[in-house]
């Protein structure tokens, strides 16, 4: 049976390629019951998504966002569900993050030019369609210009951490990202921990102390062993098992269909219980 819940997906409000209404229609067609759109540093797609969701009564759209944070070993992503979209302070904060993405994207394009891989910044902006700029937009521009065959190659050779065109951007600590989501009424959940957070067990106590409520146990291409390990960790730290496809509609080799992976319905009940 396909999943009924998918709590991690992107739209043109960040690095996804479907508009929010297009994604919602696809999810309704696939018979999903609870879904969350979690664009990077943006909730700009949620109003249009919500409007489309009204036309599909069997589908409930949970407002979400994905924030980037830094640890010494790399990146940590924190999802925030049911965050207060109306908060001006939240929106100003997200705008600042998007400004940082813009600045960093421009610097990456400069670095690419220095190593002989010209792409136009204006094209990167066009590909982002007004959404939060992210490395996949630059990767797509590199593919278009014939500098690489695939987005994956662009990441492996040029855009990944430690590669020649990589530029970091200033990010929050994971604990600050967790507290930020809590401050705006949201529920903070650790995204895709198995691959990104090498020493997860050393970090989790501090994340939980900061207010983390859940962790992605079900994700895109996790193995049975990874799922079992994360389930045990959720149990130990009393975290709600969450997850989803991290769908971007960008046709990358590791992409899975939206709604093909997600947590059980019981996780929705547990998340909602924390709101009351
Ligand atoms: P950014 O937020 O600009 O750092 O870009 C990160 C985004 O790039 C992630 O959300 C993924 O969508 C994508 N991404 C990260 N690493 C890779 C990779 N190795 N291959 C393809 N896409 C990636
Ligand atoms: Mn992304
Ligand atoms: Mn992520
Ligand atoms: Mn994501």
What is the number of residues in the chain? Answer: 276
Give me the pLDDT at residue 199, please: 83
Which residues have CB under 8 Å from 258's CB, separation 6+? 6, 9, 23, 26, 27, 30, 32, 35, 245, 247, 249
Q: Give the C-alpha distances (Å, rounded to integers) separating 193 from 44, 95, 164, 169, 242.
A: 26, 26, 26, 20, 11
Pocket of ligand 1, candidates 102, 136, 251: which has the most ligand atoms within 8 Å of its Cβ, to mutate? Answer: 136
Pocket lining: 211 vs ligand 1, CB cutoff 6 Å: no
Give me the pLDDT at residue 2, please: 61
| Ligand 1 closest atom vs CA 156 | 19
Pocket lining: 136 vs ligand 1, CB cutoff 6 Å: yes
Residue 185, phi-psi category: left (phi > 0), alpha (psi -120 to 50), beta (remainder): left
**What spacing in Å lies between the alpha carbon of 276 and ligand 2's midpoint?**
31
**How open is the CA angle 86-90-94, to the nearest 5 degrees?**
120
Strand partners, 240: 214
Indicate the SS3 state at residue 188: strand
**What spacing in Å lies between the alpha carbon of 27 and ligand 4's midpoint?**
17
User: How many other CB atoms are found less than 10 A from the CB of residue 177?
Assistant: 26
Pairing state of beta strands 60-71 and 74-81? antiparallel
Q: Give the C-alpha distances (Å, rounded to integers) separating 250 from 6, 32, 136.
A: 17, 20, 9
DSSP code of 165? T
| Ligand 1 closest atom vs CA 246 | 12
Give me the pLDDT at residue 195, please: 72
Give me the pLDDT at residue 201, please: 87
Phi, psi for 230 (deg, rounded to 5): -70, -35
Render each residue's pLDDT in the chain as its tens digit; 276 residues: 566 999 999 999 999 999 999 999 999 999 999 999 999 999 999 999 999 999 999 999 999 999 999 888 888 999 999 999 999 999 999 999 999 999 999 999 999 999 999 999 999 999 999 999 999 999 999 999 999 999 999 999 999 999 999 999 888 999 999 999 999 999 999 999 987 667 888 899 999 999 999 999 999 999 999 999 999 999 999 999 999 999 999 988 899 999 999 999 999 999 999 997
User: How many other CB atoms are found less than 10 A from the CB of residue 273?
Assistant: 9
| Ligand 1 closest atom vs CA 66 | 10
Pocket lining: 80 vs ligand 1, CB cutoff 6 Å: no
Taking only Cα atoms into account, the Rg of the chain, rounded to an integer number of angstroms, comes to 18
**What spacing in Å lies between the alpha carbon of 236 and ligand 3's midpoint?**
24
DSSP code of 249? S
DSSP string, 3-55: -SEE--B--TTTT-SS-HHHHHHHHHHTT-SEEEE--BT--TTHHHHHHHHTT
Q: Which of 216, 206, 197, 205 is nearest to 175 (CA)?
A: 206
Phi, psi for 10 (deg, rounded to 5): -120, 155
**What spacing in Å lies between the alpha carbon of 73 and ligand 1's midpoint?**
16
| Ligand 1 closest atom vs CA 101 | 3
Query: Whose Cα sits closest to atom 19 in ligand 1?
Result: 155
Pocket lining: 152 vs ligand 1, CB cutoff 6 Å: yes
DSSP string, 124-148: HHHHHTTS---HHHHHHHHHHTTS-
Give me the pLDDT at residue 253, please: 87
Q: Do residues 199 and 73 touch, judged by C-beta distance below 8 A?
A: yes
């Amino acid at each position: 049976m396909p999943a009924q819940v998918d709590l991690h997906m992107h739209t043109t409000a960040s690095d996804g390629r479907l508009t929010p209404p297009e994604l919602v229609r696809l999810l309704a067609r696939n018979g999903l019951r609870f879904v969350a759109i979690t664009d990077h540093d943006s909730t700009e797609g949620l109003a249009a998504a919500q409007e489309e969701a009204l036309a599909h009564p069997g589908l409930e759209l949970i407002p979400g966002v994905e924030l980037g944070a830094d640890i010494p070993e790399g990146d940590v992503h924190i999802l925030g569900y049911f965050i207060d979209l109306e908060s001006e302070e939240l929106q100003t904060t997200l705008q600042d993050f998007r400004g940082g993405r813009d600045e960093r994207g421009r610097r990456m394009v400069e670095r690419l030019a220095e190593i002989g891989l010209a792409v136009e910044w204006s094209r990167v902006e066009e590909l982002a369609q007004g959404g939060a700029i992210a490395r996949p937009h630059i990767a797509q521009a590199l593919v278009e210009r014939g500098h690489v065959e695939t987005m994956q190659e662009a990441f492996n050779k040029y855009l990944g951490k430690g590669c020649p065109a990589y530029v970091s951007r200033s990010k929050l600590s994971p604990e600050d990202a967790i507290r930020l989501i809590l401050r705006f009424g949201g529920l903070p959940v650790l995204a895709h921990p198995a691959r990104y957070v090498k020493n997860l067990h050393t970090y989790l106590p501090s994340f939980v102390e900061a207010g983390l409520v859940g962790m992605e146990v079900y994700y895109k291409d996790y193995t049975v062993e990874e799922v079992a390990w994360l389930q045990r960790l959720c149990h130990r730290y009393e975290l709600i098992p969450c997850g989803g496809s991290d769908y971007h509609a960008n046709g990358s080799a590791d992409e899975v269909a939206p709604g093909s992976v997600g947590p059980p319905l019981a996780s929705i009940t547990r998340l909602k219980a924390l709101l009351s």
